[in-house]
Amino acid sequence: MRAVWTIAKRELRAYFTSPVAYVFLVIFLLLTGFFTFTAGNFFERGEASLAAFFGWHPWLYLVLVPAVGMRLWAEERRSGTLELLLTMPVAPWQAIVAKFIASWLFLALALALTFPAILTVNILGDPDNGIIAAGYVGSFLLAGAYLAVSCMTSAMTRNQVVAFILSVVICLFLILAGFNPVTDLLTRWASPAVVDTVAAFSVVTHYDAFQRGVIDLRDFLFFLSVIGFALFATGIIIRGHRAG
Amino acid sequence: MIRIENLVKTFGSKRAVDGVSFNVERGEVLGFLGPNGAGKSTTMRMITGFMPPSAGRVSVGGHDVMESPLAAKRLIGYLPENAASYPDMTVKAFLDFAAELRGLEGSKRKQAVNRVVELCFLESVLRQSIDTLSKGYKHRTCLAQALIHDPDVLIMDEPTDGLDPNQKHEVRNLIRTLGKKKAIVFSTHILEEVDAACTRAIIIDRGKIVANGTPEELRDMSELAGAVTISAHGATAEKLSELGRVEDLGGAFRVYPKDKRQSSELARAVVEMVAREGWKVEGMYSERGELDEVFRRITLPDTVKR
């Protein structure tokens, strides 16, 4: 457990000793602001909720989360530090979990810095803060799922750009599987059972439940199993590299 | 401390390491020689548990590297090829990180970091980030990391690569000092290093061990070993060839012994002949044999074939 914390600490510090953290935080906050208040018609909606804010997260994360996750393993492989790390008395799963947790915490920080949005709705109206809390939980889990996918693609290559693109594509699939235009298209020639199965793989279906204020164990499990699966795959990929 | 039995590593159809076996005990410094691509790094990666072997066993301090990797890794300090380290960290932060991963906490960690900083002369760059350091300092930072937990087993992949002659000298001295209490394996293709630091050397070529012995034993494999080179007024190849095969070096003659085991007798015989014939000797010495030549003779045919 201590090894996990040691690696996570180093990883987290690495974000802040490079410009990555600051660039990411500024862009993330600017974009959430823009999408919420301008593109999301926050004021015209006339409702005291953060629906306009959370609605954009699956799309915003699609580009930004792979940017956070792409370096995790690709960088270690490129610079050769992977050899250093894995010859320390550390089990590979500890390193994988540690790196994931560090970048997830970083994303949590970014999310926490959106608190002015909560203040704004609370000053302007009387929102249901329970729904907002559920929204944040959903958003955090969504970020975790994307991040785990990025971890996996990062382990596949020593090139960060390739890791980024692969990750965006996989995450895009995770969104589109439940996106209305896509499910509508599917219903034309597939049975409802197939459509439901495909849609069940979509992060959007599960994410929306949180935005309605529903914290359902199944949605929780969905995100956790995506994370678990992707990290497990990361472990297999890394073992594959070492085996040559 | 290190036991390696029939180690094999295949990459696709290529056998990078092909049935390598050797042991290294505490107090031994083993030099690992071989041309590029001979399988040195691959063998070291298997000893340190980074790569699983395709066949064979590695145990370190009695722990099988595949079965109980953490116990084995705790005993090993490893300097990987090219001395990789995290460029965005300061030397201090990097060493603290390594110490923490090795389970050193609080005052023990401070002591450990101070010890290796002194050992590797890093005091002046402690607060600098690693990517601003010169190659020599980067190398020593990574070496410091390998020594931080005072390991019983030290594995170093080309520890003197890219260092200037002074730094090379320092690192060799360090290896020799450390080697008294530890089991050390290091790879190199600088042959003088074998003389400077090793108690034993292994030459590996195309994944197989082709020579294994003390530096003296390896040197004795040389053609040159035991030959006598003499330059003297009046000396003739004709006369000298009574004693053995003679090579004319232009101004000097080299006499090779008929039988390597009798090389000391050859020297005596040459001296006697000089006295008998009344030659005026300008120089005369007995050749020790050159590692360089042994290395080339053992590994060259394969390199050419490739």
Distance separating alpha carbons of residues A78 and B46, to the nearest angstrom:
20
Contact (CB, 8 A) for B270 and B243: yes
Q: Which of A132, A146, A133 minimizes the C-alpha distance to A52?
A: A132
- Between the CA of residue B235 and those of B248, B265, B277, B279, what are the distances in Å? 11, 19, 8, 6
Q: Which residue of B has its CA nearest to A88?
A: B73
Task: Using an 8 Å CB-CB cutoff, list chain B residues near A87.
Answer: 48-50, 73, 76, 78, 80
Contact (CB, 8 A) for B27 and B184: no
Are B52 and A242 a contacting pair at CB < 8 A?
yes
Distance separating alpha carbons of residues A133 and A229, to the nearest angstrom:
26
DSSP annotation of B223: T
Contact of B285 with chain A, judged by CB distance below 8 Å, is answered with no
Residue type, B168: K
Distance separating alpha carbons of residues B286 and B228, to the nearest angstrom:
4
Token couple for B139: 């190398």
Token couple for A132: 């907002």
The values of phi and psi at residue B34, to 5°, are 160, 155
- pLDDT of A71: 92
Residue percentage of chain B with pLDDT more than 90: 43
Q: For residue range B18-65, what is the model confidence (pLDDT) as tens digits?
A: 999 999 999 999 999 888 888 899 999 999 999 999 999 999 999 999
Task: Using an 8 Å CB-CB cutoff, list chain A residues near B102.
Answer: 88-89
Residue with tokens 């699609």: A62
Distance separating alpha carbons of residues A134 and A47, to the nearest angstrom:
17
Q: What share of chain A is helix, strand, coil (3-state, %, to 5)?
A: 80, 0, 20
Contact of B238 with chain A, judged by CB distance below 8 Å, is answered with no
Low-confidence ranges of chain A (pLDDT < 70): 244
Compare CB distances from B74 to A17, A80, A89 and report the shortest one's residue: A89
More confident of the two residues A214 and B77: B77
Which residues fall within 8 angstroms of residue B193, CB to CB, at 6 or more apart?
B31, B160, B168, B172
Residue A143 C-alpha, separation from nearest chain B C-alpha, in angstroms: 26
Token couple for B231: 């330059």
Contact of B48 with chain A, judged by CB distance below 8 Å, is answered with yes
Distance separating alpha carbons of residues B17 and B7, to the nearest angstrom:
7
Residue B253 C-alpha, separation from nearest chain A C-alpha, in angstroms: 52
- Between the CA of residue B236 and those of A149, B225, B251, B257, B275, what are the distances in Å? 81, 22, 10, 17, 14
Contact (CB, 8 A) for B11 and A242: no
Token couple for A223: 């995100």
- pLDDT of B23: 93
Compare CB distances from A88 to B16, B52, B101 and report the shortest one's residue: B101
Are A242 and B102 a contacting pair at CB < 8 A?
no
Distance of alpha carbon A142 from the chain centroid: 5
Task: Using an 8 Å CB-CB cutoff, list chain A residues near B80.
Answer: 80, 83-84, 87
CB < 8 Å from A in window 101-120 of B: 101-103
- pLDDT of B302: 52
CB atoms within 10 A of CB A18: 13
Contact of B99 with chain A, judged by CB distance below 8 Å, is answered with no
Are A87 and B49 a contacting pair at CB < 8 A?
yes
- pLDDT of B244: 81
- Between the CA of residue B54 and those of A239, B12, B16, B21, what are the distances in Å? 13, 11, 10, 14
Pick the residue of A87, A236, A238 with the most B CBs within 10 A to test the interface with B by mutation. Answer: A87
Assigned architecture for domain B2-220? 3-Layer(aba) Sandwich (3.40)
- pLDDT of B89: 93
Are A89 and B101 a contacting pair at CB < 8 A?
yes
Residue type, B1: M
- pLDDT of B301: 64
Contact of A242 with chain B, judged by CB distance below 8 Å, is answered with yes
Are A83 and B93 a contacting pair at CB < 8 A?
no
Token couple for B257: 């012994």
Contact of A20 with chain B, judged by CB distance below 8 Å, is answered with no
* Beta-strand pair B29-33/B200-205: parallel
Contact (CB, 8 A) for B162 and B135: yes
| Number of helices and strands in chain A (H, E) | 15, 0
Contact (CB, 8 A) for B49 and B69: yes
- Mean pLDDT, chain B, rounded, equals 87
Residue with tokens 């970091």: B113
Sign for the CA dihedral angle at A236, A241, B3, B8 comes to positive
- Between the CA of residue A127 and those of A8, A39, A51, A133, B71, what are the distances in Å? 36, 21, 11, 11, 56
Pick the residue of B101, B109, B145, B149 with the most A CBs within 10 A to test the interface with A by mutation. Answer: B101
Distance of alpha carbon A22 from the chain centroid: 18
Q: For residue range B93-112, what is the model confidence (pLDDT) as tens digits?
A: 999 999 999 999 889 999 99
- pLDDT of B293: 78
In this complex, how many residue pairs, one in chain A and one in chain B, have their CB atoms less than 8 Å apart? Answer: 74
- pLDDT of B202: 92
Tell me the ipTM for this assembly.
0.87
Q: For residue range B256-305, what is the model confidence (pLDDT) as tens digits?
A: 887 766 667 788 888 888 888 888 888 888 887 777 778 877 777 654 54
- Between the CA of residue A37 and those of A59, A124, A244, B146, B264, what are the distances in Å? 16, 14, 51, 54, 95
